[in-house]
Chains A and B, each alone.
Chain A
Amino acid sequence: MRVVIVPPTPALLPGYASRLDPVADLRAAVTRALSWVGPCSIVADDPDPVDAARGVTTSIGHRLALAHGLSITDDPGADRVVFASGSAMRTPKAPGSFDERAETFDAEIGRALVEPDPLALGDIDLELGEHLWARGLAGLVGLAQIPVRTAYLDYDDAPYGVQYWVARWEV
């Protein structure tokens, strides 16, 4: 079984493509990671309630999965793709502006993803994560009992003040 963690970043959606890709390195890592899995289950936040009230019915994660042509299944033994991102408050110009707790919060999750230390993901402070505009944390918490054999952290950066990880786990 394989598990992939990628960010639900709208800039990765085909409908938001630019002529000069602002997330070229991230896109390359995400594309590589998503092509690494076979038929898979998708773990992604539901659309934000405010967006849902405006008629949005499909999460960014599901839209990214569709855009990448993933074969989605409910089989519990299938590969798993978790859409999650860290804080959006790493710099004064970040979407959520700056919060001094953001870097530590992100670093701890990054460490857990690469070591790997799944149990630590089970201890993520969800309240703080929500305050820091992290997304998909429930999906990360849900990985706490996964027996990881090998972990690869292909991307670990916050280019726009938003923390992105692209991680691949061999289970």
Chain B
Amino acid sequence: MTDHLRLGRHRFPADQTLMMAIVNRTPDSFYDQGATWAEDKAFDRVAAVVAEGAEIVDIGGIKAAPGVEIGEEEEKGRVVDFVARVRQAFPDLVISVDTWRAAVADAVCAAGADLINDAWGGADPELVDVAAAHDVAIVCTHTGGVTPRTRPFRIEYANVMASVIADTTAYAERALAAGVARESIVIDPAHDFGKNTFHSLEVTRRLPEMVATGWPVLVSLSNKDFVGESLDLPVGERLTGTLAATTLCAVAGARIYRVHEVTQTRHTVDMARVIVGEMSPRRAIRGLQ
């Protein structure tokens, strides 16, 4: 759709894939169980994923699953100063903040965020205005209209991918109309959000349809329940399944990968893209001397 992707102050060629490393400023997220709740631990995590080659960090102050209600001020307290610290230490890093609240987004953008990752599908209608005002990027997700921090319960779609495409592109158009730059809008099918495992599998299988819309696609697959249920494996044993799903998304043309494991995902994405001929091998000489 555009010849490049712009995430706040950072520009990337449209065909470059990007690793977005998850950094939780939460005591209770499903995968790390508070491992980076302490600010210094979170900062160490940022340094580690940068060293692994992550282009983006996605900082979140509230876990996605239901739990203790975290108010706006508390969410700001968890993320705003941390964003400022990361901005100062890593000027070349794209800083994303995982929030659905416009007021939080406004504060983190003032502190140096480049991207608002709205995992809850535009629940706060003013979020796009904040993104436009700060000239940052936005991720437009599909949640099937569920309330933030709720689990899907008996949710049905006549055609889940049609719903995903209709909702995410409508959100993208709304962001565009609000003044967000076209090259700064990303869409995300949001695996597991408002979806059972069968829905998430169908979305994975049909991802080429989403890529065909022309909007750059972000996928967030890492260690999620649809992987766990597909293999009947608990959190902690889902990396192989995550990487298998990642392969299909890479072949389909997903551009941004929201991940816990940066190196393994980067290797998986690059290998898939090399196989399908989307890019060249890194260094091939065998038989060609």
Partner-B contacts on A (CB < 8 A) = 9-11, 16-20, 22-23, 88, 94-95, 160-162
Contact = CB atoms under 8 A, between A and B. Distances in A.
B289 A18 contact: no
A10 B288 contact: yes
B280 A160 contact: no
B284 interface: yes
B281 interface: yes
Nearest to B270: A19
A29 to B, nearest CB: 16
A162 B279 CA distance: 27
A95 B286 CA distance: 9
B280 A22 contact: no
B285 interface: yes
Dominant SS among interface residues on chain B: loop
Interface SS of A by simple majority: loop
A160 B282 contact: no
B154 interface: no
A18 B270 CA distance: 13
Contacts of B289: 9-11, 88, 94-95, 160-162
A10 B289 CA distance: 7
A19 B280 contact: yes
Contacts of B285: 11, 18, 22-23, 160
A14 to B, nearest CB: 10
6 contacts: A18-B285, A22-B283, A22-B284, A95-B287, A160-B289, A162-B289
A22 B286 CA distance: 10
Interface residues of B, number: 10
Q: What are the 8 closest A-B residue pairs judged by CB atoms, nearest first?
A: A11-B288, A22-B285, A160-B289, A10-B288, A162-B289, A20-B283, A18-B283, A18-B284
Interface string B259-286: 0000000000000000000011111110
Nearest to B282: A19
Given A10-B287, A18-B280, 5 more contacts: A10-B288, A19-B281, A19-B282, A23-B285, A160-B289
Nearest to A160: B289
Nearest to A17: B280
Most buried by B among A19, A95, A161, A162: A19
Nearest to B274: A19
B38 to A, nearest CB: 39
A151 to B, nearest CB: 25
A16 B280 CA distance: 8
A11 B282 CA distance: 13
Interface in B231-281: 279-281
Nearest to A21: B283
Contacts of A88: 289
A20 B285 CA distance: 11
A20 B282 contact: yes
A162 B283 CA distance: 17
Contacts of A11: 284-285, 288-289
B288 A16 contact: yes
Contacts of A160: 285, 289
B216 to A, nearest CB: 21
Contacts of B280: 17-19
A9 B288 CA distance: 6
B288 to A, nearest CB: 4
A20 B287 CA distance: 17
B286 to A, nearest CB: 9
A67 to B, nearest CB: 14
B97 to A, nearest CB: 32
